[in-house]
Structure 1
Amino acid sequence: MAIRPAVPDDVPALARVHVRAWQAAYTGLVPQEFLDAMDPAEREPRWRQRLDEFPPPGAVLVWTEGTVPPAGFVAVMPSRDPDADPETGEVGAIYLLPSFQGRGVGRELMAAAVEHLTAAGFRQATLWVLASNVRARRFYEAAGWRPDGMSKVDDLRGFPLEEVRYRRTLTGSQGLRPTAP
């Protein structure tokens, strides 16, 4: 198993992971009609564009096992939040195929994300999660992330999704270990 930067040949796998993870993780949290209509082939052009336009120090890191296409990914970047300072990075997405969940792959991807952001010089990191996604929130909290009191409603897909922001400190070698609450 390895974690490496995504390459253009990974686009079909990125789209597949993205769609299948959404369909598994968000059942009951977003409208089922939306999940049912998701198609990896329709997401490929967006992923191709993202990889072409993703500027350093941002990265899309993929988890692979042998010659099997990537089964998970994490996207990291400078924070997109209007209240963020230049020393704040962001985990923009982390997704796994459902069959790889619960096997430690998510922890490996999150550790790689934190390591990448720390190496890029960020001192803080944030991420957004659906307020109703209890499983994801437990995962982030186990990795040292904590809600920072910010919330928003994302309605870009035609329905409202309430999200809460999580934050953690990144400092030197401490960046790979959970921080105290």
Structure 2
Amino acid sequence: MVHVRTWQAAYAGLIPQDYLDSLDPAQREPGWRQWLAGLRPPAAILVQAEAGAPPVGFVAIQPSRDPGADRAVTGEITAIYLLPSHQGTGAGRELMAAATDHLVAAGFRRATLWVLETNTAARRFYEAAGWAPDGASKVDSSWGFPLDEVRYGRTLAEV
């Protein structure tokens, strides 16, 4: 599963290694299936794959989940993951472009995403794609340990 393999590579040294080692795609699949079944437009999952091959990455978008956000105007990229073997090939840029195109087509004028504060590689990727920190931060403890996150945003009218 792209999500598990990407977490194990991207978050090594950023979150507890014992947690990363415990991730098992087969155990996480039912939760992903349930989450996917609950998605309603304009939420979407966009998948990057090579012809005839399993997915190598995906991006998930939906109306903003942030408290106080105007969900009619602000969309959110809730996940963007690409297998390490495909990073640096342009596939990540294609996923990001597809996500922003879909957000614009769904009528959103602004978009946000959350990233680990210490994930410098992801932050460089987002900044190269026109995203910038907007000053918001939070601590996500839903995984059983604290994750310091910062929010990035961008105006979609420029897309």
Q: Distance in 1 between matches of 2:123 and 2:117?
A: 8
Percent of pairs identical after alignment?
68
AA at the equivalent of 2:88 = G
User: Which consecutive aligned stretches of 4+ in structure 1 deviate over 2 angstroms post-superposition?
Assistant: none
Q: Secondary structure at the match of 2:118?
A: coil
- Determine if the alignment matches structure 1 residue 88 to structure 2 residue 74: yes
Give the unaligned 5+ runs of structure 1.
1-15, 176-181
2:140 corresponds in structure 1 to 154
Q: Distance in 2 between matches of 1:61 and 1:42?
A: 22
Q: Distance in 2 between matches of 1:51 and 1:159?
A: 25
Q: Distance in 1 between matches of 2:68 and 2:112?
A: 11
- Determine if the alignment matches structure 1 residue 121 to structure 2 residue 98: no
Q: Distance in 2 between matches of 1:157 and 1:121?
A: 32
- Determine if the alignment matches structure 1 residue 32 to structure 2 residue 25: no
AA at the equivalent of 1:159 = F
Q: Secondary structure at the match of 2:27?
A: helix
Give the unaligned 5+ runs of structure 2.
none
Quote the RMSD (CA, aligned, Å): 0.6
AA at the equivalent of 1:129 = V
2:91 corresponds in structure 1 to 105
2:120 corresponds in structure 1 to 134
What is the TM-score normalised by the length of structure 2?
0.98
Q: Distance in 1 between matches of 2:147 and 2:45?
A: 24
1:61 corresponds in structure 2 to 46
AA at the equivalent of 2:57 = G
Q: Distance in 2 between matches of 1:115 and 1:46?
A: 27
CA shift, 1:83, in A, is 2.4
CA shift, 1:129, in A, is 0.1
CA shift, 1:47, in A, is 1.4
Q: Secondary structure at the match of 2:49?
A: strand
1:13 corresponds in structure 2 to none
CA shift, 1:38, in A, is 0.2
Q: Distance in 1 between matches of 2:74 and 2:49?
A: 28
Q: Distance in 1 between matches of 2:69 and 2:151?
A: 12
